Structure 1
Amino acid sequence: MDRGNRGITIRGNSAQIAFTYQGVRCRETLPIPPTKTAQKELALKLQSIKYEIKIGTFDYLKHFPFSKKAKELRKTRPDRYTIGEGLKSWLQRNQSRFQTSTLQDYNSAIYHHLIPAFGEITIAELTANMIKEWLNNLPRSNKRKSNVLTPLRQMYDEMYHDEIIDKNPLERVKNLPTQSREPKPFTQEEVTKILNELTGQEKNLIQFAFWSGLRTSELIALRWQDVDLEQNRIFVKTACVRGQLKETKTKSGKREVTLQPQAREALLNQQTYTEKLNDTVFHDPRTNNSWKDDQPIRKNVWTPALKKAGIEYRNPYQTRHTFASTLLSRGENPLWVAQQMGHKDWGQIIKIYGQWIPPSR
């Protein structure tokens, strides 16, 4: 029941005080002993709150740090809201927009890198120099460093556009330069040596990789229903990233690829193993299941084959470079090669593989 002080309601061992802040009627419950002294102190507290609101110094968080409204107001206080809280809230709000693989990357960046480094710092405290110093000491590639910063960039950008902060320190932190994947294609002699060290499904997989130009994620997602041997073609529609099937990254990535004779041969040899399963074309012979990602291929198939063949290690992506350089060297139209590779235009082909394009006659 109300004990006479306007804005204060006593209920047993607690009291509710009410006041208007920023045009909103606010009510907060506090535990107090049932004594007149406690009630007088509460009346003084309410009087102090109203005075602070009047002169513009009221700090909701200071008076009621555990209230739901205070927690909501923290988000508008960059001097109180921590980067850790902000990143968790940003990820929760936006997670439905992301592909599974992207969400996994952001979770890793936030919980393994950003929160350990900046989680306890308030939004307002972060400076461009702090980020640069941290990046300088982070033992990761420049590309990975840029990827790690992405959730932090997006969170600060969102807060800036919502006018919660009036400056964004990330605007003064440029992404670090990355080295492009310099093509180091294999010679046909090296290709033969590598394939000679492989048998069965493993040989079929690598032979097809060399002669189709598909990315590893596209190779392991290729299904028999997307293979058209009668018309000598395949349809690249999906990619498998970390065990998750998804559509190709770009519109141009969804494409029709003409089968080179060696790629066709690999598919014909693979039919014995998996065609009747009506599933993905290439399976891991150790598990008799589809490949989940490129790691077991790299570890169990690719690296041992190169070692046995006595060939210097290059990553599996070089099979794609080998495909492109081989077609271009024999005079195929760069625009057609670009389409086979899933590039948006042939400018990328010229940029990456220009040295393999014969001069026009």
Structure 2
Amino acid sequence: MYKGKRVRESISLEPTPKNIKQAAQRRASVCYAIKSGNFVYSEWFPESKRARLENQEAEMTLETLFNKWIEVKSFEITPATLTNYKNRISQTFLFWDKNRPVRSLKQQDLLEIRAFFLSTCSPGTTNTYMRTIKGALGFAANNGYCDEAILRGVRELKIDKKKPAPFSKSEFEKFISSCRHRQDANFWTLAVYTGMRHGELASLAWEDIDLKKGTITVNRNITLKGLFKLPKTKSGEREINLLEPAKRALLDQFELTSTYKPVLIEKHLRSYGSKINENIRPVFTPKLTARHHGHMTDFYFFSSINEKFKICCARSGVKDRNPYQTRHTFACWMLSAGANPTFIAKQMGHASAKEVYNTYGDWVGDFTQGQVDLLNQIYS
């Protein structure tokens, strides 16, 4: 048994009693060498095809392994995720020599590189780097390039769960009042009263909106690189029921951008290599407020959205927070108003209400008395 598999090798001797005894002794020596970790295939069976394969595996470098892993992974991940993998691997080579043999790695090496990342990154970012490294080494172990034992005991670092920091009603009123343009006020109003991701809002088109019915169909997202794709998950493809503040914001925005000419975009689908072209009219566009249209794009990038948010926070005097808190604000406001968690989950694009309970369960506890008063009012 070698690496969990039954292996047969010939020693080219006639099957006489003497030679069979000699073969048994040789087998015992091989088993002992394997058990003690001193077995080198080419030394015991130099003419074997497996020995040549073992030599190739022994010579595989980290750079070769990561390139091979990236190649096979590229068929199941998005271009944006592929870019992230490549960036993380390039950071790995700041610590490991790219020409180092894969087989030389030990568990200690993984613990040391984890400490290296942790010296400059947060525990969350460090865990992300380690998942990529362990994914590649898991691929190596499954194909016999290294021992899977090196992955054991390299656990993810514990991370303190961050509580949501939603806007209060008064804070959001100040925030909206600080917006210098109607489009900005409409964007952030829609963000808070729909819970949509900012990439979904940036790629939103008038073709996705039914103002009479009061719905938004979410079937598009824009990445950090400006690529259009389907929403983050299958459950992210959803129909949102518009609350009155969101509907009013869209009616106001309709006056601003509904007459813009359609823009041809290329949207990446979930199937590898599948794309479709769409002619859409963006709901929110930087061209509306741009002074110079020379190199202006038709759609907002995340950097512009984040910058606008920071400026409005500073101008309004409200506590600075991550722009993603608009999504948390929607969930917290809806829960405190007594909305069904399953309905909230569907509106936000979660697969089930479990995510709502996990993320906002502690926060909702602050409104227990409000819920009791509401129930007493109904059943008094």
Provide the TM-score with structure 2 as the length reference.
Answer: 0.72
Offset at 1:326? 1.2
Q: Is the 8 A contact 2:313 2:319 kept in 1?
A: yes
Instruction: Give 1:155's match in structure 2, choosing from 136, 139, 143.
Output: 136
Q: Distance in 2 between matches of 1:245 and 1:196?
A: 31
Matched with 1:90 is 69
Q: Secondary structure at the match of 2:259?
A: helix
Which amino acid letter does the alignment assign opposite residue 208 of structure 2? D
Q: Distance in 2 between matches of 1:316 and 1:268?
A: 24
Matched with 1:46 is none
Matched with 1:282 is 284
Instruction: Give 1:144's match in structure 2, choosing from 94, 119, 125.
Output: 125
Q: Distance in 1 between matches of 2:56 and 2:132?
A: 17
1:297 aligns with 2:305: yes
Q: Secondary structure at the match of 1:98?
A: coil
Between Structure 1 and Structure 2, whose CA radius of gyration is higher? 1
Q: Is the 8 A contact 1:87 1:151 kept in 2?
A: no
Matched with 1:214 is 196
Q: 1:145 to 1:250 in 2, by over 3 A?
A: same
Q: Distance in 2 between matches of 1:137 and 1:346?
A: 38
- Name the % identity: 25
Offset at 1:191? 0.4
Offset at 1:317? 0.9
Q: 1:235 to 1:74 in 2, by over 3 A?
A: farther
Q: 1:55 to 1:339 in 2, by over 3 A?
A: closer
Matched with 1:56 is 45
1:108 aligns with 2:87: yes
Q: Is the 8 A contact 1:75 1:86 kept in 2?
A: no
Q: 1:99 to 1:75 in 2, by over 3 A?
A: farther
Offset at 1:92? 2.6
Which blocks of at least 5 consecutive residues in structure 2 are unaligned?
1-8, 11-40, 263-280, 376-380
Q: 1:340 to 1:175 in 2, by over 3 A?
A: same
Offset at 1:54? 8.8
Q: Is the 8 A contact 1:109 1:149 kept in 2?
A: no
Q: 1:174 to 1:197 in 2, by over 3 A?
A: same
Q: Is the 8 A contact 2:60 2:145 kept in 1?
A: no
Q: Secondary structure at the match of 1:343?
A: coil
Which blocks of at least 5 consecutive residues in structure 1 are unaligned?
1-21, 24-51, 61-69
Q: 1:201 to 1:54 in 2, by over 3 A?
A: closer
1:128-162 deviations in Å (ceiling 9; x for gaps): 22222222232112222222223322222122222
Give the number of equivalent residue pairs. 298
Q: Is the 8 A contact 1:241 1:292 kept in 2?
A: no
Q: Is the 8 A contact 1:270 1:281 kept in 2?
A: yes
Q: Is the 8 A contact 1:335 1:346 kept in 2?
A: yes
Offset at 1:248? 1.4
Offset at 1:103? 0.7
Q: 1:232 to 1:55 in 2, by over 3 A?
A: closer
Matched with 2:103 is 124
Offset at 1:123? 0.8
Q: Is the 8 A contact 2:203 2:222 kept in 1?
A: yes
1:185 aligns with 2:166: yes
Q: Secondary structure at the match of 2:94?
A: helix
1:194-222 deviations in Å (ceiling 9; x for gaps): 11110222221111111110111211121
Which amino acid letter does the alignment assign opposite residue 226 of structure 1? D
Q: 1:200 to 1:123 in 2, by over 3 A?
A: same
Matches within 5 A, 1:319-338: 319-338=326-345
Matched with 1:49 is none
Residues 337-346 or 98-107, more deviating: 337-346
Offset at 1:185? 0.7
Provide the TM-score with structure 1 as the length reference.
Answer: 0.75
Q: Secondary structure at the match of 1:282?
A: coil
Q: 1:155 to 1:137 in 2, by over 3 A?
A: closer
Q: 1:152 to 1:313 in 2, by over 3 A?
A: same
Between 1 and 2, higher relative CO (CA 8 Å, sep ≥ 6) is seen in 2
Q: 1:168 to 1:246 in 2, by over 3 A?
A: farther
Residues 161-170 or 331-340, more deviating: 161-170
